Amino acid sequence: MLRKYVRLLSTVGFVTLLCAPSRVSAQTSPSLGNAGTYSILAGSQVTNTGATTIGDNVGIYPGIGVPPHFTGFGTVVLGGSVHDADVAAQNAMGDKNTAYGALDQVCTTTYGGAFGELAGANLVPGVYCATSFHLTGGTLTLTGTASDTWIFKSASDLIISGGAPARVLSPSCNVWWRVVSTATFDSGSSLVGNILADTSITMAAGASLAGKALARTAEVTLSSNTVADCAIAGGGGGGAGVPTLPEWAMITLSLLLALAGAFAMRSRGSRTGPHSSL
Protein backbone atom coordinates (compact mmCIF):
# COMPACT_ATOMS: atom_id res chain seq x y z
CA MET A 1 0.00 0.00 0.00
CA LEU A 2 2.82 2.38 0.87
CA ARG A 3 4.46 1.65 -2.48
CA LYS A 4 1.24 2.75 -4.20
CA TYR A 5 1.18 6.08 -2.35
CA VAL A 6 4.84 6.79 -3.05
CA ARG A 7 4.31 6.09 -6.75
CA LEU A 8 1.32 8.48 -6.80
CA LEU A 9 3.16 11.24 -4.98
CA SER A 10 6.16 10.81 -7.27
CA THR A 11 3.88 11.52 -10.21
CA VAL A 12 2.51 14.61 -8.47
CA GLY A 13 6.02 15.82 -7.69
CA PHE A 14 7.12 15.40 -11.29
CA VAL A 15 4.12 17.37 -12.55
CA THR A 16 4.89 20.05 -9.95
CA LEU A 17 8.40 20.52 -11.30
CA LEU A 18 7.09 20.76 -14.85
CA CYS A 19 4.22 23.14 -14.19
CA ALA A 20 5.32 25.32 -11.30
CA PRO A 21 5.97 28.88 -12.45
CA SER A 22 9.58 29.89 -11.86
CA ARG A 23 10.64 33.34 -10.77
CA VAL A 24 12.66 34.39 -13.81
CA SER A 25 12.68 38.06 -14.71
CA ALA A 26 11.96 38.60 -18.40
CA GLN A 27 13.59 42.04 -18.42
CA THR A 28 17.33 42.33 -18.96
CA SER A 29 19.95 44.96 -18.27
CA PRO A 30 21.55 46.30 -21.47
CA SER A 31 25.27 46.64 -22.00
CA LEU A 32 26.57 50.20 -21.80
CA GLY A 33 29.69 49.35 -23.78
CA ASN A 34 32.07 52.31 -23.85
CA ALA A 35 29.58 54.37 -21.84
CA GLY A 36 30.15 52.05 -18.90
CA THR A 37 33.16 54.07 -17.72
CA TYR A 38 31.27 57.39 -17.70
CA SER A 39 29.39 58.90 -14.78
CA ILE A 40 28.17 61.81 -16.89
CA LEU A 41 27.36 62.08 -20.60
CA ALA A 42 25.77 65.11 -22.24
CA GLY A 43 24.92 66.08 -25.80
CA SER A 44 25.52 69.83 -25.45
CA GLN A 45 27.37 70.76 -22.23
CA VAL A 46 27.94 69.99 -18.55
CA THR A 47 27.66 72.85 -16.05
CA ASN A 48 28.49 72.76 -12.34
CA THR A 49 28.31 75.05 -9.34
CA GLY A 50 29.65 74.19 -5.88
CA ALA A 51 31.53 71.18 -4.54
CA THR A 52 30.57 68.20 -6.68
CA THR A 53 32.01 64.68 -6.66
CA ILE A 54 31.96 62.63 -9.87
CA GLY A 55 33.16 59.06 -9.62
CA ASP A 56 34.24 58.38 -13.21
CA ASN A 57 34.63 59.99 -16.63
CA VAL A 58 32.64 62.91 -18.04
CA GLY A 59 31.85 63.06 -21.75
CA ILE A 60 30.27 65.64 -24.04
CA TYR A 61 29.34 64.89 -27.64
CA PRO A 62 28.83 66.55 -30.04
CA GLY A 63 28.69 69.74 -27.94
CA ILE A 64 27.34 73.12 -28.96
CA GLY A 65 29.66 75.85 -30.21
CA VAL A 66 33.37 76.06 -29.53
CA PRO A 67 34.94 73.94 -26.74
CA PRO A 68 35.18 73.76 -23.82
CA HIS A 69 31.65 72.43 -23.31
CA PHE A 70 31.96 72.18 -19.51
CA THR A 71 32.06 74.88 -16.82
CA GLY A 72 32.54 75.12 -13.06
CA PHE A 73 34.87 72.13 -12.80
CA GLY A 74 37.33 73.95 -10.56
CA THR A 75 35.29 72.72 -7.57
CA VAL A 76 34.72 69.19 -8.91
CA VAL A 77 36.44 66.12 -7.45
CA LEU A 78 36.70 63.96 -10.55
CA GLY A 79 37.54 60.26 -10.49
CA GLY A 80 38.16 60.07 -14.23
CA SER A 81 38.78 62.43 -17.13
CA VAL A 82 36.75 64.90 -19.18
CA HIS A 83 36.31 63.88 -22.83
CA ASP A 84 35.08 66.95 -24.64
CA ALA A 85 33.80 66.25 -28.15
CA ASP A 86 36.53 63.70 -28.82
CA VAL A 87 36.40 60.20 -30.31
CA ALA A 88 36.10 58.57 -26.88
CA ALA A 89 33.04 60.68 -26.04
CA GLN A 90 31.54 59.95 -29.47
CA ASN A 91 31.91 56.19 -28.97
CA ALA A 92 30.45 56.38 -25.47
CA MET A 93 27.46 58.38 -26.69
CA GLY A 94 26.86 55.87 -29.47
CA ASP A 95 26.84 52.95 -27.04
CA LYS A 96 24.62 54.88 -24.64
CA ASN A 97 22.09 55.42 -27.44
CA THR A 98 22.16 51.70 -28.23
CA ALA A 99 21.45 50.91 -24.57
CA TYR A 100 18.60 53.45 -24.59
CA GLY A 101 16.99 51.53 -27.43
CA ALA A 102 17.56 48.18 -25.69
CA LEU A 103 15.66 49.45 -22.63
CA ASP A 104 12.48 49.75 -24.68
CA GLN A 105 11.23 46.40 -23.39
CA VAL A 106 7.69 45.10 -22.96
CA CYS A 107 5.88 46.70 -20.00
CA THR A 108 4.88 44.38 -17.15
CA THR A 109 3.06 47.19 -15.30
CA THR A 110 1.60 50.38 -16.79
CA TYR A 111 0.50 53.35 -14.68
CA GLY A 112 -2.60 55.21 -15.85
CA GLY A 113 -3.20 58.93 -15.54
CA ALA A 114 -0.88 61.86 -16.05
CA PHE A 115 1.97 60.31 -14.04
CA GLY A 116 2.99 57.33 -11.95
CA GLU A 117 3.77 58.16 -8.31
CA LEU A 118 6.51 55.93 -6.92
CA ALA A 119 6.75 57.23 -3.35
CA GLY A 120 5.60 54.58 -0.90
CA ALA A 121 5.61 51.82 -3.52
CA ASN A 122 7.20 48.41 -2.99
CA LEU A 123 8.01 46.93 -6.39
CA VAL A 124 9.27 43.54 -7.53
CA PRO A 125 11.50 43.22 -10.61
CA GLY A 126 9.78 44.23 -13.82
CA VAL A 127 9.34 46.84 -16.54
CA TYR A 128 7.26 49.76 -15.25
CA CYS A 129 5.80 52.26 -17.70
CA ALA A 130 4.09 55.65 -17.29
CA THR A 131 3.49 58.92 -19.10
CA SER A 132 5.75 60.44 -16.45
CA PHE A 133 7.29 59.14 -13.23
CA HIS A 134 7.29 61.13 -9.99
CA LEU A 135 9.02 60.34 -6.69
CA THR A 136 7.52 62.87 -4.30
CA GLY A 137 8.85 63.12 -0.75
CA GLY A 138 8.87 59.40 -0.03
CA THR A 139 10.74 56.14 -0.44
CA LEU A 140 10.55 53.75 -3.36
CA THR A 141 11.46 50.26 -2.17
CA LEU A 142 12.62 47.66 -4.68
CA THR A 143 12.22 44.11 -3.39
CA GLY A 144 14.33 41.35 -4.92
CA THR A 145 17.93 40.18 -5.15
CA ALA A 146 21.20 41.68 -6.33
CA SER A 147 20.82 39.97 -9.73
CA ASP A 148 17.28 41.25 -10.37
CA THR A 149 16.47 44.04 -12.82
CA TRP A 150 14.04 46.98 -12.70
CA ILE A 151 13.34 49.16 -15.74
CA PHE A 152 11.29 52.37 -15.51
CA LYS A 153 10.13 53.77 -18.85
CA SER A 154 8.83 57.34 -18.81
CA ALA A 155 7.22 58.70 -21.96
CA SER A 156 8.14 62.21 -20.83
CA ASP A 157 9.83 63.17 -17.53
CA LEU A 158 11.29 61.81 -14.31
CA ILE A 159 10.66 64.25 -11.43
CA ILE A 160 12.19 63.66 -7.98
CA SER A 161 10.93 66.17 -5.43
CA GLY A 162 10.39 66.63 -1.70
CA GLY A 163 13.99 66.83 -0.58
CA ALA A 164 15.84 64.18 1.43
CA PRO A 165 12.79 61.92 2.00
CA ALA A 166 12.70 61.28 -1.77
CA ARG A 167 14.93 58.25 -2.17
CA VAL A 168 15.21 54.70 -3.53
CA LEU A 169 16.09 51.58 -1.53
CA SER A 170 17.35 48.82 -3.78
CA PRO A 171 19.14 45.47 -3.33
CA SER A 172 20.47 45.71 -6.87
CA CYS A 173 22.42 48.03 -9.14
CA ASN A 174 20.39 46.83 -12.13
CA VAL A 175 17.96 49.75 -11.98
CA TRP A 176 17.33 51.68 -15.20
CA TRP A 177 15.46 54.91 -15.89
CA ARG A 178 14.58 55.40 -19.57
CA VAL A 179 13.37 58.98 -19.86
CA VAL A 180 12.10 60.37 -23.17
CA SER A 181 12.46 64.01 -22.07
CA THR A 182 14.11 65.34 -18.88
CA ALA A 183 15.08 64.11 -15.41
CA THR A 184 15.11 66.59 -12.51
CA PHE A 185 16.26 66.17 -8.89
CA ASP A 186 15.04 68.35 -6.03
CA SER A 187 17.54 69.55 -3.41
CA GLY A 188 18.78 66.75 -1.17
CA SER A 189 16.95 63.96 -3.02
CA SER A 190 18.65 60.75 -4.09
CA LEU A 191 18.23 57.96 -6.61
CA VAL A 192 19.67 54.54 -7.39
CA GLY A 193 20.12 53.52 -11.01
CA ASN A 194 21.29 54.63 -14.42
CA ILE A 195 19.36 57.51 -16.00
CA LEU A 196 19.30 57.47 -19.79
CA ALA A 197 17.48 60.66 -20.76
CA ASP A 198 16.82 61.66 -24.35
CA THR A 199 17.07 65.36 -23.48
CA SER A 200 18.56 66.66 -20.23
CA ILE A 201 19.29 65.92 -16.55
CA THR A 202 19.23 68.57 -13.82
CA MET A 203 20.34 68.00 -10.22
CA ALA A 204 19.58 70.64 -7.58
CA ALA A 205 21.91 71.35 -4.66
CA GLY A 206 22.82 68.34 -2.54
CA ALA A 207 21.08 65.73 -4.71
CA SER A 208 22.89 62.45 -5.27
CA LEU A 209 22.83 59.61 -7.75
CA ALA A 210 24.19 56.09 -7.22
CA GLY A 211 24.49 55.35 -10.91
CA LYS A 212 25.01 57.27 -14.15
CA ALA A 213 23.53 60.48 -15.57
CA LEU A 214 23.50 60.08 -19.35
CA ALA A 215 21.73 62.69 -21.49
CA ARG A 216 21.59 62.49 -25.29
CA THR A 217 20.81 65.86 -26.86
CA ALA A 218 21.07 68.55 -24.17
CA GLU A 219 22.94 69.32 -20.97
CA VAL A 220 23.61 67.85 -17.55
CA THR A 221 23.37 70.50 -14.83
CA LEU A 222 25.08 69.89 -11.47
CA SER A 223 25.08 71.78 -8.17
CA SER A 224 27.07 70.40 -5.22
CA ASN A 225 26.12 66.83 -6.07
CA THR A 226 27.54 63.34 -5.81
CA VAL A 227 27.33 61.12 -8.89
CA ALA A 228 29.09 57.78 -8.50
CA ASP A 229 28.54 54.23 -9.67
CA CYS A 230 26.21 52.06 -7.65
CA ALA A 231 28.23 50.01 -5.13
CA ILE A 232 25.69 47.52 -3.80
CA ALA A 233 27.49 44.23 -3.07
CA GLY A 234 26.81 41.70 -5.82
CA GLY A 235 24.57 44.14 -7.67
CA GLY A 236 26.60 44.64 -10.80
CA GLY A 237 25.26 41.73 -12.77
CA GLY A 238 22.43 41.73 -15.25
CA GLY A 239 19.92 39.44 -16.79
CA ALA A 240 17.35 37.15 -15.27
CA GLY A 241 16.97 36.28 -11.62
CA VAL A 242 17.59 32.87 -10.13
CA PRO A 243 14.61 30.54 -10.68
CA THR A 244 12.73 29.55 -7.55
CA LEU A 245 9.69 27.38 -6.84
CA PRO A 246 6.55 28.72 -5.14
CA GLU A 247 5.76 27.69 -1.56
CA TRP A 248 3.13 25.08 -2.46
CA ALA A 249 5.56 23.32 -4.78
CA MET A 250 8.21 23.19 -2.06
CA ILE A 251 5.72 21.65 0.40
CA THR A 252 4.70 18.99 -2.13
CA LEU A 253 8.29 18.07 -2.86
CA SER A 254 9.09 17.92 0.87
CA LEU A 255 6.24 15.45 1.42
CA LEU A 256 7.49 13.39 -1.50
CA LEU A 257 10.98 13.19 -0.04
CA ALA A 258 9.62 12.30 3.42
CA LEU A 259 7.47 9.45 2.11
CA ALA A 260 10.24 8.19 -0.13
CA GLY A 261 12.55 8.09 2.89
CA ALA A 262 9.94 6.23 4.97
CA PHE A 263 9.46 3.68 2.22
CA ALA A 264 13.21 3.17 1.89
CA MET A 265 13.58 2.61 5.64
CA ARG A 266 10.68 0.13 5.70
CA SER A 267 12.06 -1.80 2.73
CA ARG A 268 15.49 -1.97 4.35
CA GLY A 269 13.95 -3.21 7.62
CA SER A 270 12.03 -6.00 5.88
CA ARG A 271 15.23 -7.21 4.19
CA THR A 272 17.39 -7.14 7.33
CA GLY A 273 14.83 -8.39 9.88
CA PRO A 274 15.19 -11.66 11.88
CA HIS A 275 14.87 -14.98 9.96
CA SER A 276 13.49 -18.25 11.38
CA SER A 277 16.10 -20.96 11.97
CA LEU A 278 15.86 -24.44 10.53
20-29, 136-145, 201-210, 217-226: the lowest-pLDDT one? 20-29
181-229 pLDDT tens trace: 999 999 999 999 999 999 999 999 999 999 999 999 999 999 999 999 9
Whether omega for the bond prior to residue 68 falls within 30 degrees of 0, making it cis, is: yes
2-16, 33-47, 249-263: the lowest-pLDDT one? 2-16
Distance CA 14, CA 175 (A): 36
SS3 category, 24: coil
- How far, CA to CA in Å, does 44 sit from each of 107, 110, 113, 205? 31, 32, 32, 21
